Chains A and B, each alone.
Chain A
Amino acid sequence: MSNRVVNILVPVISVILGLLVGAIVMLVSGYDPILGYTALWNGIFGDAYAIGETIRQITPYLLAGLSVAFAFRTGLFNIGVEGQLLVGWFAASYVGIAFDLPMYIHLPFAIIAAALAGAAWAFIPGLLKAKLQVHEVIVTIMMNYIALHTTNALIKVVSDGGDNTGTINASASLKSAFFESITDYSRLHYGIFIALAMVLLMWFILEKTTTGYELKSVGFNKHASEYAGMNVNKNIILSMVIAGAFAGLAGAMEALGTFQYANVKGGFTGIGFDGIAVALLGANTPLGVIFGAVLFGSLKYGALNMPNEAGIPVEIVSIVIAIIIFFVACGYVIRYFLEKANKKKEAK
């Protein structure tokens, strides 16, 4: 078996195994797995609406995944995507509501505001890490809580004690009448193009620029990088800031695309945390993040249809989805056994 075949086979086997074990779980709990998976399939690809919504769901995952992956390439663990996303969400909504500008100014303004907010939020852990060696995991986790409650408070201020900023002006909206018309009013918006452009941007930064070269070098070996004359601290901060900007953009997707407003939240959105899994599933590469986000987004969205169409309770659905992702993440185990089997064959 060539390497290429193995590379393709591993994810395929992983998904199949995940589906099988998920089927067993459904069967044991007294539900029909075929019906369940049909519902899952229909939930993802069933009709234009489902496809539109699935892509809509993938959009923020792409950006959250990029955020984690980018920081990771510089050896940083950005657990703060959630917080950066929330401040980005608020910033985009605020700009979307507070200003009345022509679209070609307003929309970019709102998007950039979100990216800047996320970047600023990530700058703090980056700075603390660089200057005081405070571990970024601790800081980013705590910054998540600060972000959650700060944005909640700000939303109240903006809405005069209400719980919702109100809908953004149409000039700042990513909504797409065209997408709505072809996907039967799904919330699919133009943000997907921004997300894909960012994937390209991450690839470009990492693979084509001296900045990317530095960031990777610092991520692999701080000492050698320092010796080679790179400013390690600058790179740590830069990496966090870029990662934060990606996360802020994920917030913009929600603010300007999916929801069109920011509302007071009782808890985290979960997108940021799923972003960690998306990045790791994708081995922290731009292309890998697409794979991870598509998998996560599709399963997450498609899963909603399982209670709807197959009557399987949300709890069981959650287990099944988790099992599928679990098996995909365990791909290296499967790779190991494939290689073993391979060797045995060769030995014979």
Chain B
Amino acid sequence: MSDVVTREEFGEVVVLHIKTNSVDAISAAAIEAACVDMRPITVLNFKDVSFINSAGISVLLKFVVKARKAGYKLFAMNLSPHHQKIFKMVEMSRFMPTIEEHDLAAHR
């Protein structure tokens, strides 16, 4: 696991904390590397992310594909209002709905 993504597991849940502020072509490979060991509930935490472009969306879709194949649930957490807008524009939010931190409390 790189410094770009840190991992937190509890029960059926894994939270992948994206620690880079820019999800783009430069950080894509390091983020994709975190896609290898997902759990039945996988959450991507965007708290530290201030920028996502289409190259970033492409790498996030790799998580979507992998979750769908495994029958896992995939969520986005701490998305900024701007990124929520972008996710709606490309209909990403259909495949990676948002979740609140308190919704995870029952799994801890």
A and B assemble together: no
Q: Interface on A for B, CB 8 Å cutoff? A: none
